[in-house]
Amino acid sequence: MKLLHLSHTDGGAGAGRAAYRIHQSMLKLGLSSNMLVADKRTSDSSVMALRHSIFSTARFCEWLEARRGRYMVANPSLFFSPGSCSQFDLSEHPKLRNADIVNLYWVNGGFLSPESLARINKPLVWRLSDIWPFSGGCHYPGTCDGFQTACGNCPQLRKRGDNDHSHRLWSRKKTAWRILDLTVVAPSHWMAALARRSTLFGGYRVEVIPTGIDLDIYRPQSPISSRARWHLPQDRILIIFGAISPTGEVRKGYHLLRKALELIAPTPLSHRMLAVVFGNDNSVQEELPIPGIWLGRIEDDHALASIYNCADVVVVPSLEDNLPNVALEAISCGAPVAAFDVGGMREIVEDGRNGRLAKAGDAEGLAHAILDIAMSRESTTNLSSISLRTNARSHAKTKFSLSIQANRYLELYQDILSTPSKIRR
């Protein structure tokens, strides 16, 4: 079996890292696996970069795609991919011609257009990082259900109408993708339900395969040693929050985390707390109502694992999310998570066992969730720090190991290749 993985990148944000982990898992199973990316982040020789210079036409296309998306949206904190620019036609690429199955991941940023994707005449497996593959351009729908019909009148666009850009992109996808030999994989049951309700993917086979985490890297370590590595105090309650751009995307919920910490600030426990933030924005810790420290942008897996091992609580305040890596990595390290009950979060956080869930958008509820976990350090009840950490690690080992994910994908690939049908519905 020869596999080819197509992803905008093999690192960076969660989608690229998840794609690379699946590729690596296939290699460990002894399969022939290669990866083609626009933006190569690793030194792995089995990953081939299609863009070789920051001054290339492809790089300009990526910039243009992002610029058009920012211009179209009514709210600059929303992320919209218009799918209007692509420099890669991979239909004749030798790696693709030799592949038995092509696995797709996040292919935006000028990587693949609907039309260039349709020219890939191979069995396709598309792992959904968000809903863009079956929407008219948005990555998360909010309260909109336009993807269940034909999009149009998109609430995220400045210029809305029956035939707005979202409807036109949806129509391009419908035309281009009607001949796809496609199987859809969703990391969460929440994302799978959205895909099944969509008009573009609703007729295809949709499987749920949770994201796998390297449990040998993301594992419990000594909190004392981990805090010493990052020069963090041993006697403080550390509240950790991480995002590539914490304040740049409203969906990530930083504004609600800040509001929750404002509610915590007057409590007696707050003087023992320290907020630890990692990501791109170094101003975050200065805005918080409790003392904070910024660790910078962290992409190395071993460094991230060490940070999670410093935590008393990891907060993931997303208002919409699929199966976020931050929460998965945190529980794998035994760190309890406080989050909103949205998307696939309840598949990671078992409320009261390995963390706490609050009602979506309820900052007061999030504050209580954080305080409940913080106070578990001194608790001898069922919600003790030890039981939270033990349950977190146990849940990760049971549901989110790389080996479980790899075997599920292998079984799916084998089933696809043994099925003669052209369109897998």
Q: Which of 34, 36, 39, 35 is nearest to 13 (CA)?
A: 39
Give the C-alpha separation, 242 to 229, whole Å.
18
Q: Compute φ and ψ for 130, nearest 5 degrees.
A: -160, -165
Question: What value does the mean pLDDT of the chain take?
Answer: 91
Determine the pLDDT at residue 195.
98
CATH node for 2-212+402-417:
3.40.50.2000
pLDDT score recorded for residue 424: 47
DSSP track, 140-189: S-TT--GGGTT--S-TTBSS--TTSHHHHHHHHHHHHHTT--EEEEESSH
For residue 281, what pLDDT band results from cuts at 50, 70 and 90?
low
pLDDT of amino acid 179: 86
CA distances 38 to 6, 46, 137, 262, Å, are 9, 14, 20, 42
Distance CA 158, CA 406 (A): 42
For the record, the structure tokens of 323 come out as 């199966």
List, in sequence order, the alpha helices (H) in 300-401: 301-308, 325-332, 363-375, 385-399
Distance between CA atoms of 244 and 251, rounded to whole angstroms? Answer: 12
CATH number of 223-399: 3.40.50.2000
pLDDT score at 379:
63
- Please tell me the predicted confidence (pLDDT) of residue 88: 77
The average pLDDT across 293-311 equals 93
What percent of the chain has pLDDT above 70? Answer: 92
CA dihedral 325, 326, 328, 334 (to 10 degrees): 160
- Residues 11-61: tens digit of each pLDDT: 877 889 999 999 999 999 999 999 999 889 999 999 999 866 555 666 788
pTM across the whole model: 0.92
Domain residue extents for the chain: 2-212+402-417, 223-399
Dihedral sign for Cα atoms in the order 303, 245, 240, 284: positive
User: Alpha-carbon distance 58 to 61, whole Å?
Assistant: 5
Task: Evaluate if residue 248 carries a pLDDT over 80.
Answer: no
Same fold, 2-212+402-417 and 223-399: yes
* Residues 113, 307: Cα–Cα separation, whole Å: 38
| Helical ranges in 272-355 per DSSP H | 284-287, 301-308, 325-332
Terminal C-alpha separation, the chain: 22
Residue 425 confidence (pLDDT): 46
pLDDT of the residue at 286: 66
Largest CA distance in the chain: 66
Angle at 26 between CA 20 and CA 32, to 5 degrees: 110
